[in-house]
Structure formats: C-alpha cells, structure tokens
Amino acid sequence: MSSAQANTATPAGQQKTGEIRLVDITKKFGHSYAVQNINLTIPHRSYCCLLGPSGCGKTTILRMIAGHEPPTSGQIYIGDKIVAGKSPVERGTAMMFQSYALFPHLSIADNVGFYLKMRGVGKAERRDRVEEMLKRVQLDQFRNRMPSQLSGGQQQRVALARSLITNPEVLLLDEPLSALDEFLRLRMRGELRSLQTELGITFVHVTHTQPEAIALADMVVVMDTGRIDQADTAEMIFNRPKTPYVARFMGGQNVLTGLVEGHAGGLVRLRASGGSIFEFPLDGPPPANGQPISIAVRRDHVRLARQASDLAGKGINEIAGAVTATEYQGSYVKVTLDIGNGLFVANVTDRDYSAEPVVHGDRAVASWKAADVHTLAEIDTGAAADFDFDASN
Amino acid sequence: MTPGPEANQKSLLSTYLQVTPLTLVMLLFFVVPVALVVLVSFFRYQMLVGIVPQFTLKNYIDLITNPTTWSLYLSTVKFTLIVLAITFVLGFWVAYFLVFHVRNLLTAIGLFLVCTVPFWTSNIIRMISWRPVLGKEGLINTALLQSGIIAEPLDWLLYSDFSVVVAYVHLFTLFMIVPIFNSMARIDKSLLEAAVDAGATRWGVIWNVVLPLSKTGIALGALFVVTLVMGDFFVVSVMSGGLSGSATTGIFNDLQFLNYPRAAASAVILLIIVLLIAASIFRLVDVRKELVK
Amino acid sequence: MSALPSYGSRPWTFYVLAALFTLFVIFLYGPMIAILILSFQGPSAALVFPLRDPSLMWFDELFNPRRVGDVMGAFSRSLPLALMVMVLTVLISVTAGFGFRRRFAGSGVIFYTAIASLIVPGLVLSIGILVTFRFLGLSAAWYSSALGAHLTWALPFGLLIMFAILGRLDPSYEEAAYDLGASKWQTVKAVVIPIVFPGMIAVALFGFTLSYDEFPRSWLTVGTKNTLPLEIWTMTTNVTSPALYALGTVTTVVSFIVIALALSSIIIIQRRRSR
C-alpha cells in the first residue's frame, strides 16, 4: 500500500506540463448527467486513480481529458493551457484503451510506429525509434508478429509502447488491468507503478478495484454517480473517509449514526436510535446538542466477544447483535452481525477468533476504542449501504 | 469522436455527401421509373399511335374484369405457396444442419459457401440445365428405364408444373438458407443446453427455442422467395414449355404489342400485391434493426 | 442432443440431416455437371447420355455467330457492364455505408427505398426505366439504362453487406488512430478501409455477378444489343444444340474464376492477419 506523497516537486523554473485541472466540468448525454460540476486538480507527475463502480463517470472524465469526448460545460487545463478543441496529440495526452485496440491488420512494429507514420517521419528513423521502444517493453523479437498472435499481457505492452512513443505528458489508462488474470494483474500493477516513476509523467488510471487504486496511486479520486466524493492520498481516503459512501466503498468500514448528547472530558457523546452510546475525541469546536453525526469504525479495529448476558453490549462504543455470517479469509475471519437496524462487520484476527469462535446464531458484542472512531462530514442516509465492498476483493 | 459542435456540422455535411450517390441512383433508376409506371398505367393506348396521355381507368378495369388475369394470378400464387413451403423446409434443415451439427466452424462456413457458389452463376443456364436431366431422353428417365423401374419414360418431369417448381426450388432455396443461417448462428448455444436441462426433447428444443429465434431469418427468406417467384416470368415460361402462365405473362404479352399502359397497369397490380405481402412480413419483423445490427 | 455440441458419437439425426444436405448439394450441382459433360458431346448432337464421340466442336460453334447467335458480341457487352457495375457498386455502397454510421434525417427513407428496390420485381423496374428514358428522349443502351437497372439490384446488396461489416467494426480502432494523431482521412485510409477490405471484396463480388447474370432487369433496358443472359434466352427458344450447353459451361467457368479470385483474396487477407 503506497503511502508516499505525490512527488509533485518540479525543479525550479520548469513548467508543470503534466498538471491537469478540471474546472466546473459537466457532461450531459441527452437528458442525463454523466458527471456534474467536477472540480479536480491532478498534480504534475503524479499517479492518479479514478475509482468507483460502473456508471460513476470515471471513464467519461478520462475521455474528456483525452479529447475523445467534449465536455458540455467547463474547462480543462493541461499544463496550464486550455485544451478545448485540441486533438489528443496537441494536448500531450495518450490513451491506453481497455480493449487495447491494436490495429489487427498491422504488425506489432507498424502498430507502434503508427504515430510516427501519421506525422510523416521517414522509414529509417521510424524503424529505429520503434525498435528502441519495443526493446523498452521487451517485445523486440515480436516486431513482425500480428496482434492476434500475442497474449493479453503482451498486447498490453504493445498498446503501452504505441502510446508512449508519442512522448505524452499524460498517460490515460482505461481499466488496464481488468482483462488480465489475477497473477498477471498483480505483476502488471508493479510494472505500471515503476514505469510511471521512471518516465516521470502523469498517469490517470481508471479502475473499479479498490485495492488496486490504493496500491498504485499517489492520489485516489473516489467517485459516485457523477460526482467526486473525495480526492486525496490513499492513506487519507482509507483512514479519514469524508462520506459514508467512501467509508463503505473504500475500507468496508462500519458507519453508525447518532445524535449529540453532550461532551465531557474531551469526548463527544452520541446516542443512537437503538440506545447505543458512542464516544469519540473532540477535535475543534464542540458540536451542538441534538445534532446528528455519522461515524465510521474500521472493521479491523473491532473486538468481538460472545454476549455473556442480556445486559452486556450496552456500554460505551459497544454494540450487540446476532451473528448472521462468518467468512474465513485466511489471516482474519469476517463476522457479520445483525444489529437490528442494519449490519455490522468485524474482521477478527484468526488468533482472536480461534480463542473465541462465534457462529451463525450466536449473540455477540462488538467493541472499539474511542480513538479509532472517525467522524464523517456527511450524515449517512442509508443509501448505497453495500457491505460487499471488501478490502480483500 | 470528433469534438466540438462545428466539427459536428462539418461531419453532417459530409454524411449527406456520402449518401448522395446512392440517393441519386435510387431516385433516377428506381423511384422515378416506378412513379412513371404508375403514371402510364392511367394513360390510354391507341393502336398504331402509342401512348396517349389521357387519364383513364380502362386499363385497370380491363384487367380486373378479365378472368384470365385472375387465373394467371391464381397460378402464380399456387406456385408461390408450393415453392415457399418446399424452400422453407429445405432451407431450415440445411441451415440447421450447418449451424448445429457441423462442429468445426470453418467446415460449416466452407459448406455454406459450397451452397452459395451456384448463386454466382447464371440463372438461365442453371434453369436450362434441367432440360437434359428431366427430359424424356434425359438423365433421370434413362436411369429409371435402364434399371427397369419404369417401362416408359415419364413425360411429366419436364415442361410441366413439376419442372417449374423444381426450377424455382433450385434457384431460390439459397435465399431461404442465407437469412435463416444468419439468424440461427446468432442463437446462444447455452439457450439450447438450458432447454435440455429443463427437460425438453430434441424436437421440443427446435420447436420452442430454435424456431422462434429464427423467426426473423424465416421472414426475410420468405419475403425474398415470394417476391422472386411472383415477379418471375422466364422460369415459368421456359420450364413449362409455354403451357403455364404467371402474373407476368400478361405483362409480357402486352409489351410485345407495345401496349405500355396496360402492361404498366398489370405491373402496378403485381407491385401492390407484392408490397402488401412485404408489409405484412415487415410487421412481424423489424427489418431495419435486423439488417443494420 | 442434436442441437448441442456433443463431443462423442453423433445422434441419428446427424446422419439424416447429413444425407439431406448431400442430396441438396447434388441437387444444386447435378444439372450444372450434366451440361458440363454434355457440352463435350460429339457431332451426333444428341441431348442424351451417354456421350458418343466426345469433341470440342460445340465450343467452336460459339465463336461462330451465324449459327448460334451473337455470343461473342453479347459477351463483349456483359463483361464491361459487369465490371462497371462492380466498380460503381463498391464506390457507392462503401461511401453510403459510411454515411449511414450516424443517424441523420432521411436515413430511414433512403434505407427503405433501397430495400424496396430489392422487392420490386425486376420486370416492373425494366418497364419503368424504359419509359423513363423514352420520356427523357433517350434511347436505352446497355451502358446507360441497363447499367442503372443493374445498380438498383446490386447497390442494396452492397449496402446491406457494408452495414454488416461496419456494424461489427470496433469504434475503438478509430479512436486509437485519432489518439495517435491521425486525421479523419488518414484514419479512413490507414485503419478503416484495410480492416473492412475483405467486406469490400464481397461487395465487388456481388456487384460483378449480380450484373453478369442479371436477366429481368436487363430485359428491356439493354436497347438493341443483348447482354449474355438475354442472348442465351433467345437461344433457348431457337437453339436445341449442345452449343447452348457449351455456352453454359463457358459462362459458368467464367463465374467460377471470378468467385475463386474473390474468395481466395479474402482468405489470404484473413490468413495474413491471424497467421
């Protein structure tokens, strides 16, 4: 998991040619909005992942940056220049398509050299530059093969070579790892990251796989139905989600809501509708009494114990429920509790679980520390309460 | 793909330019001629003078009240229905064999091409090549005589309704095979497996899954066969030795006498009937969606 | 289960249908083979099997217009006409096919007109074109009115083929080309046309053969000089000699050569791309 800050420092005096700024971008298809009022700055030389489920608009944003789709309103700046009306090459972007889109009638060498041919570069120079690029992706011995003769991973490297030969400032990747099998996907992940560091250009990578995003990106942009929910480093997204959606989607965190009862001793107290009491450290001006607040607790910060008596589970930062499912995941067991008005999930380490195993039907008490509670900026409406977004996916 | 509203307008213009040649040819050689045929059908014909541009319904009245017209149409419809039935059965089973029984895709395509190759050769030649096969001294009769199955040569093989039907089936079955093959090839094979899983018999799968999903292909094939048979005049006259007539015989005769108005009227009647059949088939199938897939 | 990909012994239905298929192929090719053999019939001119003294004399007769009809002349019109129709069909269908890739006002009308052109009986069309030309004060000729008539039959087929081909064309190829700096025209030239080229060969094949073998739409529109199918038509009523069969053999061979050329070039191109 990458916790490195984006290396956006550029030598003094050099232009931030790979910086992308979206200002008030909206895209409408017919009567429906694909994205609405998007404002985003992707730093120069960063690895940025656009993350979200299908239909959230991430691919639309990618295509607008590329120049394949014009925004309905708003402006896009690449390297501080407005790019409206400019072709991808003029913008300094290159796109890697999800299906790779390798020209089936051209050899690998001709595919990679396509850009040069369109610009009228001479045959000899073309051959040399193509050869150099093919060596870089270790495909030089395949130069005369046809795309259909290559494996998926090899085809992807050809697509990469074809895009990189245009010397782009920004490389746009549309779900590049989705078509690969598990092993190849993990290996290519590492290769993409080292490639980006080596090239020193901006990468914008669209994905729906959360572990991929937090593994690769300096900046993760979590999207939901046409809006950006949170754009931050992977660590901030994972540990300090802003909204219930991000909390659930990213870390599979538990979201609870309560009304403020008061504060004392540096802790704010919330009372939930079921009678549970939650406390978390006060940070900044105290919230007004009666105000609703939603909190998030990471699944792996929860301790689980069998409910000894009916009175147990009524303490602070505790909640009781019936076990509805247990799922073995190797180093931990995912235990789902029905707490009455929803579900609550604890990832119990395998050691703790073997010490005190709970099974379907048991009543258990989940507890956590006040310091592990994170307040969300939005109140949970209960929408998109999808507990299937597991960090292990 | 190309951004910007101004580029949109440019590409709209180029789109119209791209379809202009097609439109022009269709206008000049199809729309206008058909319109003129309709127009001329309302004109008068005078012997030794030619077409007189005077509006009259005489041509239509003549044709509709003439019993020969009806018997000719009846004959044509009879042929059409028989040929339709035979080509459908043949076409369906040949397509079915190619799509579902031939395992190797390449072999299936190869066999399909084998069926289509005769289509690329001259219709007339294919038609007259039946003469030495069906004739009294032809291949079939000689074989039957020599093997002792019959004592006298069969004379109904050639220059009869039989030979007309044989020729039609020979020429037009392909028009059934191609669309049905196309429709069948698109059927997801797992649908058939699901049907078997649910307990369907061999025939049940065909009746409940294959047939409904090939409906479009069958409709298109039927459309082609009907229009080809109803609009034909040379197969029926050659293969029947002039004994049978068709709806087009009347047109043929009128043209011989240069009676363009009445020929035009006959043509219009034929056209209306064919279009009615086509329209009813179009009701069953959204042609545009199917063809522009 | 006959409709399933069974990997084992074949059900009895396979054998029945295979037999049916074989009979069908014999049905299709039998007569053609019959006249192929008969065209080598000797001077007895008997339209009978078996052959007596086979010879090539009837092929010789074809080149002799006095006895048999103006075969060479008809051929000298049919061939160029078919070539012109072929070229025009490719040019017009391909460009129109590209035009139809986007929705535009009037696309439905043009499409249904093209389909209607297939449905309208050829005879009706022939009359119409003849009347049109008379109306315009022009006389019918194989290179004008017949050309147009043949196009009304070939263009809709070409259009439908282009629809099928362009409909299956993955749009990301063109987007990739645009992404790599190709202009619209460069994209068409370097990416689209090469990819759809086999389809264009099919369109050319349709254009050539539909014209070369066309009868109803040629009938009144050729003017005074016949095309080959029309010439054969007149011969069927007059001539009963095996010269007719010799002609049939020759014209079929020409067709086969054209088909072989088209199919083999398509196969070669596909092979080269997948090797």
Per-residue pLDDT band for B2 (boundaries 50, 70, 90) equals very low
The secondary structure of residue A138, as a DSSP letter, is T
One-letter identity of residue A9: A
* pLDDT value at B218 more than 50: yes
Rounded to the nearest 5 degrees, what angle is found at the Cα of C220, between the Cα atoms of C218 and C225? 75
In chain B, what percentage of residues exceed pLDDT 90?
Answer: 17
Whole-angstrom Cα distance, residue B33 to residue C133?
A: 9
* pLDDT value at A111 more than 80: yes
Residue B104's CATH number: 1.10.3720.10
Residue B3 with chain A: CB contacts under 8 Å = 67-70, 84-85
- Inter-chain contact A67–B3, Cβ cutoff 8 Å? yes
Q: Quote the pLDDT of residue B4.
A: 44
Q: Quote the pLDDT of residue A392.
A: 40
Mean pLDDT of all residues in A126-155: 92
Strand pairing of A32-42 and A20-29?
antiparallel
A24, A73 in Cβ contact below 8 A?
yes
- Inter-chain contact A166–C173, Cβ cutoff 8 Å? no
Per-residue pLDDT band for C64 (boundaries 50, 70, 90) equals low
- Inter-chain contact B1–C10, Cβ cutoff 8 Å? no
β-partners of residue A22 are A40, A76
**For residues C142 and B81, which has the higher predicted lDDT (pLDDT)?**
B81
- Inter-chain contact B117–C175, Cβ cutoff 8 Å? no
Whole-angstrom Cα distance, residue B79 to residue B101?
A: 32
Closest CA in chain B for residue A68: B1
Q: Which chains touch B (3 or more CB pairs under 8 A)?
A: A, C
One-letter identity of residue C44: S
φ, ψ dihedrals at C71, nearest 5° = -65, -50
Q: Quote the pLDDT of residue A310.
A: 73
Task: Measure in Å the smallest separation between the Cα of A47 and chain C Cα atoms.
Answer: 21
* pLDDT value at A389 more than 50: no
In chain A, what percentage of residues exceed pLDDT 90?
Answer: 58
Q: Quote the pLDDT of residue B290.
A: 61
- Inter-chain contact A69–B3, Cβ cutoff 8 Å? yes
Tens digit of each residue's pLDDT (9 = 90 or more) over C147-183 = 999 999 999 999 988 988 888 888 999 999 999 999 9
Residue B47: inside a domain: no
A346, A299 in Cβ contact below 8 A?
yes
Q: Quote the pLDDT of residue C71.
A: 76
* pLDDT value at A116 more than 60: yes
* pLDDT value at A250 more than 80: no
Q: Quote the pLDDT of residue C49.
A: 58
Q: Quote the pLDDT of residue B7.
A: 55
CATH of A20-239, one of 3.40.50.620, 3.40.50.300, 2.40.50.140, 3.40.50.720: 3.40.50.300
Cβ–Cβ contacts within 10 Å for residue A277, how many?
16
Strand pairing of A93-96 and A170-174?
parallel
Q: Which CATH architecture has domain A251-375?
A: Beta Barrel (2.40)
Residue B30: inside a domain: no
φ, ψ dihedrals at B278, nearest 5° = -60, -45
Closest CA in chain C for residue B172: C28
Using only the alpha carbons of chain C, give its radius of gyration. 23
Per-residue pLDDT band for A205 (boundaries 50, 70, 90) equals very high
Tens digit of each residue's pLDDT (9 = 90 or more) over B121-180 = 888 888 888 888 887 777 788 778 878 777 777 777 888 888 899 999 999 999 999 889
Tens digit of each residue's pLDDT (9 = 90 or more) over A259-305 = 998 888 888 999 888 788 899 998 888 888 888 999 999 999 999 98
Tens digit of each residue's pLDDT (9 = 90 or more) over C186-231 = 999 999 999 999 889 989 998 998 898 888 888 888 888 888 888 8
Mean pLDDT of chain C: 83
In chain A, what percentage of residues exceed pLDDT 70?
Answer: 93
Residue B51: inside a domain: no
Q: Which chains touch A (3 or more CB pairs under 8 A)?
A: B, C
Per-residue pLDDT band for C91 (boundaries 50, 70, 90) equals very high
Mean pLDDT of all residues in A89-116: 93
Per-residue pLDDT band for A390 (boundaries 50, 70, 90) equals very low
Total tally of structural domains belonging to chain B:
1
Residue C170 with chain A: CB contacts under 8 Å = 99, 101
Q: Quote the pLDDT of residue A76.
A: 95
**For residues A88 and C243, which has the higher predicted lDDT (pLDDT)?**
A88
Residue B16 with chain C: CB contacts under 8 Å = 99, 104
Whole-angstrom Cα distance, residue B154 to residue B160?
A: 11
* pLDDT value at B91 more than 70: yes
Closest CA in chain C for residue A99: C172
* pLDDT value at B1 more than 70: no
Residues in A whose CB is inside 8 Å of some CB of C read: 66, 68, 87-89, 93-95, 97, 99, 101, 103-105, 114-115, 117-119, 145-146, 148-149, 162-163, 166
Residue B1 with chain A: CB contacts under 8 Å = 68
**C140-to-A193, A215, C221 alpha-carbon distances in Å:** 73, 76, 5
Mean pLDDT of all residues in A131-151: 92
Q: Which of C104, C163, C213 sits opposite B16 (nearest CB)?
A: C104
**For residues B133 and A324, which has the higher predicted lDDT (pLDDT)?**
A324
Strand pairing of A202-207 and A47-51?
parallel
Task: Measure in Å the smallest separation between the Cα of C3 and chain B Cα atoms.
Answer: 5
Per-residue pLDDT band for A385 (boundaries 50, 70, 90) equals very low
In chain C, what percentage of residues exceed pLDDT 90?
Answer: 27
Per-residue pLDDT band for C54 (boundaries 50, 70, 90) equals low
* pLDDT value at C73 more than 90: no
Q: Which of A87, A101, A119 sits opposite C176 (nearest CB)?
A: A101
**For residues B80 and A275, which has the higher predicted lDDT (pLDDT)?**
B80
Task: Give Cβ neighbours of residue C176 (< 8 Å, ≥ 6 apart).
Answer: A95, A97, A101, A103, A162
Q: Which of A68, A84, A85 sits opposite B1 (nearest CB)?
A: A68
Mean pLDDT of chain A: 88
Task: Give Cβ neighbours of residue A118 (< 8 Å, ≥ 6 apart).
Answer: C177, C180, C181, C182, C183, C186, C190
- Inter-chain contact A66–C179, Cβ cutoff 8 Å? yes
What proportions of chain B, in percent to the nearest 5, are helix, strand and coil? 75, 0, 25
Per-residue pLDDT band for C43 (boundaries 50, 70, 90) equals low
Q: Where exactly are the structural domains of chain C?
A: 70-238
* pLDDT value at A30 more than 70: yes
Mean pLDDT of chain B: 83
What interface predicted TM-score (ipTM) does this complex get? 0.83
Residue C188 with chain A: CB contacts under 8 Å = none
Give me the CATH code for the C70-238 domain, please.
1.10.3720.10
* pLDDT value at B54 more than 90: no
- Inter-chain contact C114–B263, Cβ cutoff 8 Å? no
Q: Quote the pLDDT of residue B188.
A: 86
Whether the pTM exceeds 0.95: the reply is no
Q: Quote the pLDDT of residue B289.
A: 64
Closest CA in chain A for residue C182: A118
Query: Which of B12, B1, A162, A122 minimizes the C-alpha distance to C183?
Result: B1
A341, A319 in Cβ contact below 8 A?
no
Residue A101 touches chain B, beta carbons under 8 Å: no
Per-residue pLDDT band for A393 (boundaries 50, 70, 90) equals very low
Q: Quote the pLDDT of residue B144.
A: 81
Per-residue pLDDT band for C240 (boundaries 50, 70, 90) equals low
Q: Quote the pLDDT of residue C228.
A: 84
